Each structure stands twice: as structure tokens, then as C-alpha cells.
Amino acid sequence: MPGFTCCVPGCYNNSHRDKALHFYTFPKDEELRRLWLKNVSRAGVSGCFSTFQPTTGHRVCSEHFQGGRKSYLVRVPTIFPLRGVNERKA
């Protein structure tokens, strides 16, 4: 049975091991999608992720949302404890 792994750099949560988490696809709405991509911030990460374009298989886990879940009021992921760890220095 296939599962999901969070696509946020440095986050290794997956749906098999972390059953209490929810995994969300990137929104289709262009403005929300742009905000998600900006916040997930895979730009600047070296290697195959430097030109990240999410597909329908890419997911963001609920740990990156205020309150631990996406909702009508909390629509954009904002919690990234490892931000900057793998990013290139300018």
C-alpha cells in the first residue's frame, strides 16, 4: 500500500510511520500555490530540488501548519524548524 512522505526539506515524516499526521497536496489555486512554494522554500537547496515543481504526489505534512492541521483559517504552511540548514550561503 503506497504512502506519503513530506516533501519539506529536512522533514522525514511519512504516513506509514506517523499515522496521526495528515498529508496535504499543493493547492490548485495559483496564489495559494505560490505562497506554499515560497514557504516550503526548496529554492536554494542544492541538487535535484533546486528547481522543485510539485506534482500531485508531493505532500506537506500537518506538522508545518499552525495548530497541527490545515483548516479554513490556516491555509498556508508556516512552521519550518530546519529552515536554512541545507540552503546555500549567499
> What are the tens digits of pLDDT across the range 36-50?
888 887 655 555 555
Determine the pLDDT at residue 82.
Answer: 64
CA distance 72 to 11: 24
Determine the pLDDT at residue 87.
Answer: 47
Whether the pLDDT of residue 2 is over 50: the answer is yes
Q: Beta partners for 60?
A: 24
- Give the residue, 43 or 52, on which the prediction is more confident: 52
Determine the pLDDT at residue 13.
Answer: 93
| Residue 21: band (very low, low, confident or very high) from pLDDT cuts 50, 70, 90 | very high
Whether the pLDDT of residue 63 is over 90: the answer is yes
User: DSSP assignment, residue 45?
Assistant: B
User: DSSP assignment, residue 19?
Assistant: T
Measured from the Cβ of residue 82, the count of other Cβ atoms closer than 10 Å reads 11
Minimal CA–CA distance to 70: which of 39, 16, 5, 25? Answer: 25
Determine the pLDDT at residue 86.
Answer: 46
